[in-house]
Amino acid sequence: MSREERLGHGHHHHHHEGVAGIRQAFFLNLFFTLVEIAGGIWTNSMAILADAIHDLGDSFALGTAWYFERLSGKAGDERYSYGYRRFSLLGALVNIVILVVGSLFILSKAVPRILSPEPSSAGGMIGFAVLGVAVNGFAALRLKGKGGMNVSMVAWHLLEDVLGWAAILVTGIVLLFWKVLWLDPLLSILITGYVLYNVLRNLKSTMNIFLQGIPGGVDLGAIEGEVNRLSGVGGTHHAHVWTLDGRDHILSMHVVITGEADRETILSLKEHIRGIMKKHGIDHSTVEFEFEGEECRISGCNCRTGETNGSSI
């Protein structure tokens, strides 16, 4: 087997393990969410119901992650030339709506509970908390080292759930000895607030991707500056960068070549620009070379390349 075949086989092996791990985590999480809802009603615990709503959102996230992890290797076609990775953003938006609606419902029930506390089953809370730590911890361990960024983010999300259940476990133990009835609804509000904080943060990132904003961590000015400092480059314009799904970044740019450039000069420039793109985490770049005095071919642009000052338009 050749080196390329071994690498391809290894990639396929890890991809398969990642898909299997997410699938198992999805079914575990969905089953446990249904158990949580029943358990939250049985124990009269708003904290457990709050986490159940959180896990319901997690189940949807895991389901979409599983689906799109399977699609991640699918290349572009005649309908979607960039492929299908951007469809995961639709799942993220639906997930955000589910979490926001569920969180507002929990808050509407938990806030009055602080003013008029009701007893919760401490023993039941402890039992469900132990089960929650075990289920989410097992699912997270199953995903450890099994794939790329998608799988890693799912694993981190599950570890956050483990911490949430640990907090419920501590609350249950406290309620065994002290009847601090407001502690359960307070914890549910804290859990819900944490969920909403992360939801709104993810919404901001998701909308930035949809609106083709510059990806976080990418400095377009620095990229242009490095290209402009290359020998034989007279300037750049129409530089744009966006991201497909928050991980795979795309850049397009017009580069003006000074003097009489032969084939070797252009090939050398391409190699240097390729290195700059790799350094800045650009996965796909399209660079158009223009000669000084040549009219820019962008529709509606009246500039000539000899007038460029190296800034984006």
CATH number, domain of 282, equals 3.30.70.1350
Instruction: Specify whether 160 is located in the same domain as 105.
Output: yes
User: What values do phi and psi take at 290, rounded to 5?
Assistant: -130, 150
Structural domain contains residue 234 = yes
pLDDT of residue 201: 79
Query: CA 59: distance to chain centroid?
Result: 15
Return all residues near 135 (Cβ < 8 A) that are at least 6 apart: 28, 29, 32
pLDDT of residue 250: 92
Structural domain contains residue 111 = yes
Instruction: Specify whether 186 is located in the same domain as 151.
Output: yes
Structural domain contains residue 215 = no
Instruction: Specify whether 73 is located in the same domain as 158.
Output: yes
Instruction: Specify whether 57 is located in the same domain as 205.
Output: yes
Structural domain contains residue 260 = yes
Structural domain contains residue 313 = no
Instruction: Specify whether 266 is located in the same domain as 117.
Output: no
Rounded CA gap, 88 and 68, in Å?
6
Which domain covers residue 113, as residue numbers?
A: 3-210
Distances (CA, A) of 298 to 11, 206, 233: 40, 29, 19
Instruction: Specify whether 200 is located in the same domain as 247.
Output: no
Inter-residue contact 11 to 20 (CB < 8 Å): no
pLDDT of residue 300: 56
- Domain stop point among 210, 229, 253: 210
- Domain stop point among 185, 210, 235: 210
pLDDT of residue 151: 58
Count: domains in the chain: 2
Instruction: Specify whether 67 is located in the same domain as 103.
Output: yes
Q: What is the CATH number of the domain that holds 118?
A: 1.20.1510.10
Instruction: Specify whether 70 is located in the same domain as 171.
Output: yes
Instruction: Specify whether 179 is located in the same domain as 34.
Output: yes
Average pLDDT per consecutive 10 residues, the chain (313 residues; last block may be shorter): 39 50 76 82 76 75 72 71 72 72 78 77 82 81 59 63 77 83 78 79 82 89 94 90 85 89 87 94 90 72 49 35
Structural domain contains residue 272 = yes
Instruction: Specify whether 168 is located in the same domain as 248.
Output: no
Return all residues near 278 (Cβ < 8 A) that are at least 6 apart: none
Instruction: Specify whether 77 is located in the same domain as 198.
Output: yes
- Domain stop point among 210, 237, 263: 210
Take residue 248 and report the two structure tokens written for it. 């795979």
Residues 290-313 as b/e (b if ≥16 CB within 10 A, e otherwise) read: beeeeebeeeeeeeebeebebeee
Instruction: Specify whether 130 is located in the same domain as 245.
Output: no
267 CB burial (10 A radius; 0-12, 13-18, 19+)? exposed
Give this prediction's pTM. 0.62
